Amino acid sequence: MSAQKPAVSKLEAEAIAVSRDPVLAHMLAEEKVEVAGRDLQLLKRLLGYLRPHLLLASVCVFMAVIEALAMTIPPYIVGLAMDRASGVTGRTPRGFDHLLDAIGEVALSAVDRVPTDTAALITYFGVMSLLFWLLRFGVAVATSYWVQKLSQLILHDLRVDIFAHITSMDMGFFHKNPVGRLVNRTTFDVASLSELFSDAFAQGMRDILFVLVLYSVMFTIDPLLGTMLLLVVPALVLISRLYQRMVRPALRANSAVVSRMNGWLAENLAGMRENQLYRREPRRAAEYRSLTEAHQTAQVGMVRPWAWVRPAMMLTSSLATAAVLWLGYQRVLEGIITVGVLLTFIQYTARLWVPIRNLTEKFNLVQQSLTSGERIMEILDEKVGMNDGPSEGAVTVAPSRGEVRFEAVRFRYAGREEEVLKGITFTAQVGQMVALVGDTGAGKSTVAHLISRFYDVSGGEVLVDGVDVRQYRLNALRSSIAIVPQDVVVFAGSVRDNITLGRAVDDATVWKCVEAVSARAIVERLGGLDGSLDEGGRTLSTGERQLLSFARALVGNPPVLILDEATANVDTSTEMVIQEALRNLTRGRTTIAIAHRLSTIREADEILVLGHGAVLERGRHEQLLDDNGAYAKLYRTHLAGSGEAS
Amino acid sequence: MSFWSDVPRVVRLLKGERANYGLGLLALWVVNFSDVMAPLFLAVAVDLMASSLGGAPPKLPAIMGYVGLTPAQFNLETAIACFFGLQLTANIARYPMLVMTSIPSHRVGQRVRNELVGRLLSLSRGFFDRSKSGDLMALQTNDIIAVRMMLGPGILVGVDTLMLVSLVIVVMFALSWKLALLALIPMPLIAIVTNKLSHAEYQRSEAVQNDIGRLTEQVRESYAGIRILQGYAREGYDRERFRLASFRHYGKSLDLGRVRSVFDPALDFFLGSSTSIVLAVGGPAVVRGEMSLGSFTAFLFLINFLSGPMVGFGWAVSLWQRGRASLKRLDKVMSEQPEVGDVEGAIALDGTVAIEVRGLTFGYAARGAAEIGTEEREVAVAAPEQAAALDGVSFVLAPGKLLGVTGRVGSGKSTLAMLLTRIYEPPAGTIFVNGRDVRDYTLSSLRRSIVVAPQDTFLFSDTIENNLLMGLDAETAGGSDSRASEAARLAGLASLAEEIEELPKRYGTLLGERGVNLSGGQRQRLAIARAIGADPRMLVLDDCLSAVDARTEARILEQLRTVFEGRSGIIISHRVRALEQCDEILVLEAGRVIERGTHAALLAQGGHYAEIAHEQTKEAVSE
């Protein structure tokens, strides 16, 4: 199936042409829903989420049947009443006749009065009809609510699953998928699925049940008329299918254009300064105008099919009414049915198209939801990246000493030819500091990543406390390592949660750590440990965020510390505080530092100079300078022309 | 705020589309008329049927007698044919009815969109500092759609309700005024309940939307911080945190679900009560012979016609409420005037650029600096009370000369760059270009001549080539070949060419969310190349090398020498190495010039500059 790519429809081509936008074509391609069979597969998987809620689900189905029955009865009562009204005799009791008679008897005996004439009897019928409407109202409200509850429960489960799945993926996955995309999968795509559940599943199930019940009732009353009306359904479904075929390209185009327009605006608001600095305003306005033209094309493509599908359906329904009237009359003449039954049928016919119209109307939503669903499944189908140690005999005890050893470690990213690390060997003894220096792309960050086992080596071994990192349970390994990255992540929430990350640590310990990294003043300014931090920690400067991140590392008291250019973004004025804090942080811990600052490097027990994935030189600062090799050159490039001798 | 006062505003919006709307509403009338008349023929058919079975002789509804129709003119077949013919007419007219109102409403929506974006593009920095971009986005995503809905379904359904309801009521009264009155009792309730419920639905769905926003932000944080969460083995904690948030969202969604589950059943119930009334009261009337069976049937059908408009009316009212509120928000932005613009008689800046700054003092409006860049953001936080970003700064920059500016984070360096290009308006009489106040020049010629490569520049999710050539004017853009070679030349100047060549689609590579993410250093180099590409008379580099490694920095500085030939320039940097070649260097501290002179002179002076220089030679070995 994949050999033949779906051709771009005329409408989509037109939309791309008027927009003159390269990104839009790209996005349209992404909107393409692939093989039709996948919809079923998707539904099957989603239905799997029903399993924990089977009881609620069966209650919903049961209630929906009751609701459909309750809705079928009032037109029946009208017919029955009419027969009584026109004094028709010879009505063969069928369908709900017995039920209604029984209810009538109970009701009449309850008021303890026998109706004196037909007119009064019909009034009772009216009251009975009202009661059934009331019953139907109650049942419908309950059904609706339970169905909504069921869908929301499923969506909640789905969201939690996706989140858990994504947060267990390895770094390669996060490399491949930008954060924005993953966020959309977790929230917006699930929200879009919510339409599928509450409209397509919930309403659709009730609509279909209603049609089924209606047909069953019609068959019991008059099989021939019922059979004839069966023809209406294929006609309506055919119209609905035709509509879907016509509108699908427009829907796809529209969804792509809308997200492109939103993306365009978000981007140009963010880059407004650049637009103005570079006088792009007229050009941007023209770009946007082209997008709105493409949008209009898509909208027209959506309106036109809709403008005929609805009349076509209503007309089919009228045709059916006319046919029932005509055929029914013949049946009445033959004495097979009464006028009342015919009236009931006419009312049923008028109702028959409503559920099918509903389903057609929801088509747009369902289409979008299915696309969202597929995207979600795509993510859920990705295998969890990192195995959690060997299935048997994994080390569950966290390494406590903190010796880190690399044995001829080689590494290449999945699917890449080129090796990032080409046989790195070194040992950081307990409590030592090893500094990694070298140009961008030399492999420094990769070394750091391998210790926490964000990736697995492609050759050699990484050992912590003498045990290969692949032998540990991930949790055990990682709880012994603290990473301090260059860009500090601040989570919205309390200061305490940001430092402890939810670990059970008492406040005294947290304060001790905060003090050790000279962050007391900051925490106090924020309102203590209960003070709140907003998204991204916007109220903090880079240096302040960094200090909090130090406290976060310290609170777990890990034997191994990884500093990934931890101080690169800090300006000279905050430098002193940070240096002091850093000394407290690294004391007594094995530290692997991807270093930036000379002050850090100078204190290192060993410096590894990396170049193209290999160790070019190793040794202490003075020693390396004396060697006058790569390190010395690196050192001098920075000092060249500064007018100062080293 | 009265509804009627907004009507002229809405009518003005429809300029150019009124003829279409007229036709659409005419078609609507045809639809409604045919729809309402059809059940009368159904009534005739039922009566004919009943009389043929020995009932009373057929009696045409009085209303049909008015136009001279008599029972003798009909048999069952012609009655059914009339019924169907009317339905056919109605459904044919439905097409123009929908198309002639819906498509124009979309067209108006697009026009409003373009006007909005055109306005946003013309507004000054100050406006964007004051506004949240989320709010501005909402104008496009929510408000324009709300206005469109008001103009499309809002108008159609509104008019439909008035038209259809009055037609149905007239016919019902003609059939039996007593029964009509009784059957209509529940109808006002429908309109009230629909309106109430749709109001509640709107509020709760807003709450759900807001909650999605919160949820999204939390998820974004978690994914962005995945290295920390996994690295500290705290995924479990974060999953629990997310589960709670997701459960909160479940609650809000269910709140919305509760309203929705009452909505449709309530409407059905009101219609059902109407039907029941007709049965309880009309049925006995048929028995007594006061009403024909056909009229009774017609009543049942007519009541069903009311359901649409009654639901529609509540809906239309809420569409109008939302549409008008949205229109107000849009109008508010549309009435914003740019703070920085061309004065009357503004002249074009041409030729070489000489700058003189005299006693420039400038402060941002409260919290105004938040958007400029990370640098000033920290200032705004550290000193929430409004402090002058620049305080009495003066200097002269002759054509072809190079000025260096350095200073701590937040000392006002970037502000200077933004004032020179009037991204923010400098006070009158402080900045002079070629001897005239900078405010006397047209914005476009000023920004043509002076180009800033901003710190922390923004890259558009477009191809690398288009990002590089952003400064090129359309007229001079030339063919694709010359564009490609120009892009390569610029990339070469910024030492970026090699890395671009390594990308799969080279200069055609898309940047941003859907493409490649550049590193900080690459972005900065692209910013430099982009600025050079604009070929300005004066080039301002605002701290564009801070994330570039030492070797590349040295190479770029070397190449910049040739770029700066024949141009004036300002290099803003806190790295001494970048400033060495400048003819004069200013050292800023809290907006004031604390030292000035050449590199050599400043070093000799042994002040702040010399101190930084000393620090920096000690620091930074790698990268």
Same-domain check for residues A333 and A416: no
Same-domain check for residues A101 and A244: yes
**8-state DSSP, A433:** E
A188-232 pLDDT tens trace: 788 778 777 766 667 777 788 888 888 888 888 888 888 888 887
Contact state of B225 with A483 under an 8 Å Cβ cutoff: no
**8-state DSSP, B352:** -
CATH superfamily of B3-334: ABC transporter type 1, transmembrane domain (1.20.1560.10)
- Which of A67, A440, A565, A633 to mutate against chain B (most B CBs within 10 Å)? A440
pLDDT confidence tier of residue A403, bands split at 50, 70 and 90: confident
User: Which residues on adjacent β-strands are paired with residue A435?
Assistant: A593, A607
CA distance B471 to chain A (A): 5
- What kind and span of H or E run contains A411? strand A404-411
Ramachandran area for residue A533 (φ above 0: left; ψ -120 to 50: alpha; else beta): beta
Give the pLDDT mean for A353-363: 73
A89 inside domain? yes
- Residue A330's pLDDT is 84
Q: Using an 8 Å Cβ cutoff, are A535 and A594 in contact?
A: no
Report the residue of chain B nearest A182, measured CA to CA: B223
* Burial environment of residue A560 by CB neighbours within 10 A (0 to 12, 13 to 18, 19 or more): buried
Same-domain check for residues A414 and A535: yes
Q: Measured between beta carbons, which residues in chain A are less than 8 angstroms from residue B142?
A: none
pLDDT at A578 over 80: no
CA distance B528 to chain A (A): 13
What is the rounded CA–CA span in Å between residue B423 and residue B447? 9
A229-254 pLDDT tens trace: 888 778 888 888 888 888 888 887 88
Which residue from A136, A304, A634 is facing B99, i.e. has the nearest CB? A304
* Burial environment of residue A330 by CB neighbours within 10 A (0 to 12, 13 to 18, 19 or more): exposed
Show which of A316, A346, A381 is a domain's final residue: A381
A538 inside domain? yes
Which residue from B49, B273, B444 is facing A332, i.e. has the nearest CB? B49
CA distance B132 to chain A (A): 10
Look at residues A465, A455, A389, A454 and name the one whose alpha carbon lies nearest to residue A427. A465
Same-domain check for residues A424 and A556: yes
A291 inside domain? yes
pLDDT at A307 over 70: yes
- Which of B201, B215, B232, B466 to mutate against chain A (most A CBs within 10 Å)? B232
Return the percentage of chain A with pLDDT > 90, whole number: 2
CA atoms within 13 A on the CB side of A406: 28
Residue A222: CATH number of its domain: 1.20.1560.10
- Residue A323's pLDDT is 85
Contact state of B239 with A164 under an 8 Å Cβ cutoff: yes
Same-domain check for residues A131 and A239: yes
Backbone angles phi, psi at A106, to 5 degrees: -60, -45
Which residue from B98, B452, B530 is facing A307, i.e. has the nearest CB? B98
CA distance A214 to chain B (A): 17
Backbone angles phi, psi at A379, to 5 degrees: -70, -45
A129-141 pLDDT tens trace: 888 889 989 998 9
- Residue A35's pLDDT is 45
A28 inside domain? no
- What kind and span of H or E run contains B538? strand B538-542
A261 inside domain? yes
Same-domain check for residues A218 and A360: yes
A494 inside domain? yes
Which residue from B265, B451, B600 is facing A137, i.e. has the nearest CB? B265
Q: How far is residue A75 from each of residues A71, A78, A80, measured CA to CA in Å?
A: 8, 5, 9
Q: What is the ipTM of this complex?
A: 0.80
Q: Measured between beta carbons, which residues in chain A are less than 8 angstroms from residue B275?
A: 74, 78, 129, 133
What is the rounded CA–CA span in Å between residue A399 and residue A130? 75
Burial B349-362 (b: 16+ CB within 10 A, else e): beeebbbbbeebeb
pLDDT at A145 over 80: yes
> Could you give the number of structural domains in chain A?
2
Q: How far is residue B283 from each of residues A101, A360, B39, B289, measured CA to CA in Å?
A: 18, 36, 18, 10
Show which of A347, A381, A415 is a domain's final residue: A381
Same-domain check for residues A201 and A123: yes
Residue A448: CATH number of its domain: 3.40.50.300
Q: Any long-range contacts for A220-224 (C-beta under 8 Å, 24+ apart)?
A: A220/A94, A220/A95, A221/A94, A221/A95, A221/A337, A221/A341, A221/A344, A221/A345, A222/A331, A222/A336, A222/A337, A222/A341, A222/A345, A224/A327, A224/A331
Backbone angles phi, psi at A452, to 5 degrees: -80, 0
pLDDT at A264 over 80: yes
Same-domain check for residues A358 and A410: no
Residue numbers in chain B where pLDDT is lower than 70: 1-4, 54-69, 71, 310-311, 365-387, 409-410, 473-481, 512-517, 519-520, 547, 549-550, 617-623
Q: Using an 8 Å Cβ cutoff, are B461 and A267 in contact?
A: yes
A614-640 pLDDT tens trace: 888 888 888 888 888 777 777 765 544
- Residue A402's pLDDT is 83
Contact state of B574 with A572 under an 8 Å Cβ cutoff: yes
A31 inside domain? no
Same-domain check for residues A213 and A78: yes
Dihedral sign computed on CA atoms, order A301, A302, A304, A305: positive
Which residue from B125, B275, B551 is facing A74, i.e. has the nearest CB? B275
A570 inside domain? yes
CA distance A219 to chain B (A): 23
Same-domain check for residues A321 and A468: no
DSSP A472-515: B-HHHHHTTEEEE-SS----SEEHHHHHHTT----HHHHHHHHH
Tokens of B425: 């308006």
Q: Measured between beta carbons, which residues in chain A are less than 8 angstroms from residue B474?
A: 283
Q: Using an 8 Å Cβ cutoff, are A496 and A507 in contact?
A: yes
Look at residues A538, A531, A586 and name the one whose alpha carbon lies nearest to residue A558. A586
Look at residues A377, A378, A381 and name the one whose alpha carbon lies nearest to residue A47. A377
The structural domains of chain B, with segments of one domain joined by +, span 3-334, 355-456+536-618, 460-517
Show which of A350, A381, A412 is a domain's final residue: A381
A526-543 pLDDT tens trace: 888 888 776 656 667 667
DSSP A512-557: HHHHHTT-HHHHHHTTSTT-EE-GGGTTS-HHHHHHHHHHHHHHT-
The residue count of chain B comes to 623
- Residue B374's pLDDT is 34
Q: Beta strand pairing status for B538-542 and B568-572?
A: parallel
Same-domain check for residues A321 and A200: yes
Terminal-residue alpha carbon distance, chain B: 63
Which residue from B217, B451, B617 is facing A535, i.e. has the nearest CB? B217
- Residue B477's pLDDT is 52
Among A109-123, A208-222, A316-330, B418-432, where is mean pLDDT lowest? A109-123
Q: Residue A109 sits in which domain range? A: 10-21+38-381
Same-domain check for residues A377 and A412: no
Q: Measured between beta carbons, which residues in chain A are less than 8 angstroms from residue B577?
A: 641-642
Burial A287-308 (b: 16+ CB within 10 A, else e): bbbbbbbbbbbbbbbbbbbbbb
- Residue B247's pLDDT is 93
Q: Measured between beta carbons, which residues in chain B are less than 8 angstroms from residue A120?
A: 284
Ramachandran area for residue B609 (φ above 0: left; ψ -120 to 50: alpha; else beta): alpha
Q: Measured between beta carbons, which residues in chain B are less than 8 angstroms from residue A635?
A: 621
The residue count of chain A comes to 646
What is the rounded CA–CA span in Å between residue A467 and residue A547? 32
pLDDT at A599 over 80: no
What is the rounded CA–CA span in Å between residue A428 and residue A430? 7
Dihedral sign computed on CA atoms, order B472, B478, B480, B485: negative
Please state which of the four CATH numbers 3.40.50.12280, 3.20.20.140, 3.90.180.10, 3.40.50.300 is assigned to the domain occupying B355-456+536-618: 3.40.50.300
